[in-house]
């Protein structure tokens, strides 16, 4: 039996996903740095709130495709994003102490002009104990307003 080119493409979804995967990431407004443990909670909430305000967000849970190299995809996301947002939670503080992937992301983000820490369920004092450089940046805290308020302020910053 012989197949047309269209039939072969339809029968080979892996090939199509590989073709799609080679497309470079679009520029994003925000790179969202967060702890792995927060991906389904606070990080997802902030991501969704920002996108609902038409802010494009690089978020590992949607931008790192199955089978791709995590660190390389993060590197591409960092290069294509205008503003870095670090969601500082107890889990992130623990991750930064362990010098994992979040620590690598933070090292790159600290070298940029626009980096905004968002402190959630922790304090700036706790952040200062782990990363004095990040704590020295002007940021936002969910202790002073809901996550929706934080997203609104970030969206306003992006629009400038």
Report which DSSP code applies to 75. H
In angstroms, the CA 34 to CA 28 distance is 16
105 is catalytic: yes
Dihedral of CA atoms 25, 26, 27, 30 in degrees, nearest 10, equals: -80
List the structure tokens of 63.
Answer: 């931008």
Give me the catalytic one of 19, 105, 125, 156: 105
* H helices present in 22-100, as ranges: 42-52, 60-63, 70-79, 90-97
Neighbouring residues of 16: CB distance < 8 A, sequence distance ≥ 6: 9
Q: List, in order, residues 6 or more apart from 91 with CB less than 8 Å away.
A: 35, 36, 37, 38
Q: Is 115 helix (H, G, I), strand (E, B) or coil?
A: strand
Residues marked active site are found at 105
């Amino acid at each position: 039996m012989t197949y047309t080119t269209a039939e072969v493409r339809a029968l080979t979804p892996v090939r199509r996903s590989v073709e799609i995967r080679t497309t470079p990431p679009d520029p994003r407004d925000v790179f969202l740095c967060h702890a792995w443990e927060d991906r389904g909670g606070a990080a997802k909430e902030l991501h969704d709130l920002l996108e609902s305000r038409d802010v494009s967000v690089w978020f590992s849970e949607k931008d790192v495709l199955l089978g791709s190299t995590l660190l390389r995809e993060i590197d591409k996301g960092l290069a294509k994003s205008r503003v870095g947002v670090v969601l500082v939670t107890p889990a992130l503080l623990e991750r930064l102490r362990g010098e994992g992937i979040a620590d690598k992301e933070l090292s790159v983000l600290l070298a940029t002009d626009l980096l905004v820490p968002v402190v959630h369920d922790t304090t700036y004092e706790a952040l200062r104990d782990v990363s004095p450089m990040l704590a020295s940046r002007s940021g936002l805290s969910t202790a002073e307003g809901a996550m929706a308020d934080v997203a609104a302020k970030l969206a306003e910053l992006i629009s400038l």
